[in-house]
Amino acid sequence: MNTQATHRQRDVLRLLELRQAQGAPPPSYREIGEQLGIPHVSAVAKHVAALRRKGLLATTEGKTRSIQLVSPLRALRQRIVDIPIYGSIPAGSPTDREQEAEGCISVDVESVGIRTTSRTFALRVSGDSMIGKHILHGDVVVIEHGKEPKPGDVVAALIDGQSTLKTFLVQRGRPFLRAENPKYPDLIPAAELVIQGVMVALIRKKS
């Protein structure tokens, strides 16, 4: 979500700030247009809608004078999303460890640069097989379930029933998994390779 207001949108915000400081009621779209020299109410409505999407304004549906400024803190909070953490995933040798929910991690989706969905989840990294992609033990990887993996993507996968975090590759039409640490071998499925999701972000807590 882009929270940067355009020049004209900043004019709208300044007008609303002035009205609020004066204790005046919120202006109508027509009044905003008259004050700012915007000839069409539809153009004002587009600016207000854009500011609402950016989390800088709030309106009440069906009310003509319901425009309210949103505080910077509230706007920031609207960018914060809680992503469920489903346990840990080995970045080493695969294991048959079951994933269990263990709470959530709060993420500023704008600064991370992702869009979350109902299929977004997170996993804690255990092991050192992905250090070549700067994924370290204790990091949290954000995974999008259902996303089609491309060669080179980092994926959470079940290979022959065991879970692991590796790089997805295809050779001669056959998919396999590669570690990003030379001490670990490639993983070629004997029977089954199930991609549980593609990594879309990496989160590292400061020590």
Residues with a known catalytic role? 129, 166
The tokens describing 10, both together, are: 């900043």
**Amino acid (1-letter code) at residue 189:** P
**Amino acid (1-letter code) at residue 153:** D
Q: What is the crossing angle of helices 7-21 and 41-53, to 10°?
A: 90
Cα separation, 49 vs 56, whole angstroms: 10
Cα Rg of the chain (Å, integer): 24
From residue 156, give the alpha-carbon distance in Å to each of 115, 148, 178, 195: 18, 12, 12, 6
The tokens describing 153, both together, are: 């993507």
Query: Which position has the token pair 């004997």?
Result: 190
